């Protein structure tokens, strides 16, 4: 997991949103957005991947 505390990061793999709140998840999460999916990851390693073709 990205260790920078907050803010927005952009790299070749996608856009990362740090320090977000997600309903039903305790603490902050990081979201990664790329051309195929959006992924949410909590600090304890739990993740949720949502492919855009399923939305």
Q: How do residues 1-55 score in pLDDT, each as one tens digit? A: 455 556 666 666 788 888 888 888 888 999 999 999 999 999 888 999 999 998 7
Number of structural domains the chain divides into: 1
| Assigned domain for 18 exists | yes
Is 22 part of a structural domain of the chain? yes
Give the pLDDT score at 1: 47
Write out the two tokens for 51. 């492919």
Determine the distance from the C-alpha atom of residue 12 to the mean position of all C-alpha atoms in its chain, rounded to a whole number.
15
Token pair for 55: 């939305």
- Residue 54 in any domain: the answer is no
pLDDT at 14: 83
Residue 33 forms part of a structural domain: yes
For residue 22, what are the domain limits? 7-49
């Amino acid at each position: 997991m990205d260790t920078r505390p907050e803010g927005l990061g952009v790299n070749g793999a996608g856009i990362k949103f740090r320090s977000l709140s997600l309903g039903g998840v305790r603490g902050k999460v990081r979201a990664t957005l790329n051309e195929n999916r959006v992924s949410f990851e909590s600090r304890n390693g739990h993740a949720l991947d949502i492919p855009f073709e399923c939305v």
